[in-house]
Structure 1
Amino acid sequence: IDEELVKKKKIPTKKLERPITCRNSDGTIAGKKDITKFVKMDLNINGHNEQLDVVVTPLQSSDLFLGHDWLTNHNPEIDWKQGIIK
């Protein structure tokens, strides 16, 4: 989740046990700092509800990224043109 959104909405954060260093596909370090915080987030998509632990980091293009593991596990229907997940 985007750290600016977390600040703006005053969402309470928790500290990660161990910081996460983000890396690009070529192995180089991405970003200027490690990820050190997460938030508990309630997610509701078409009646499917679950609580997620979501890391807090600067995102420039979106408020939230759903990871590959979540997408593979839930296999949602995605309308890329309208930006809708079912």
Structure 2
Amino acid sequence: MVAEPIFNVDGMANKGGKITDKACLLMRMENKGDYHDEQYELLATNLGGEDIILETDWLHKHNPQIDWVKNNLTFSTCAERCLVS
């Protein structure tokens, strides 16, 4: 794989490096017994102190409730918006 340049959320070039690897992940979103699975392609790079950055399109689609104090996402609308029959 050819290393690809990566840009941070603020649009600046990532000083930590380029995208070095890709991985597929099956992600399960659960809330009160309802759930759905989605497959995502994750891109690996040095993010400094961050573990992951979720893209705006993903956040818009799932519209999670974010509790910044508990460091927690709640997917209360996934049953209505994301479940595919």
Quickly name the TM-score band, shorter chain normalised.
0.5 to 0.7
Larger radius of gyration: 2
Q: 1:41 aligns with which of 11, 22, 25?
A: 25
Distance 2:64 2:36 in 1: 11
Q: 2:4 aligns with which of 10, 20, 26?
A: 20
2:43 aligned partner: 55
Counterpart residue identity of residue 54, structure 2 = L
Structure 2: gaps of 5 or more residues:
75-85
Q: Is the 8 A contact 1:39 1:54 kept in 2?
A: yes
Identity percentage of aligned residues = 29
Structure 1: gaps of 5 or more residues:
1-14
Query: Which 4+ residue blocks in structure 1 deviate beyond 3 angstroms?
Result: none
Change beyond 3 A, Cα 1:33–1:59 = closer
Distance 2:67 2:27 in 1: 18
Secondary structure at the counterpart of residue 45 of structure 2? coil
1:83 paired to 2:71: yes
Report the CA distance between 1:48 and its aligned residue.
2.8
**CA RMSD across the alignment:** 2.2
1:74 paired to 2:74: no
**Number of residues paired by the alignment?**
69
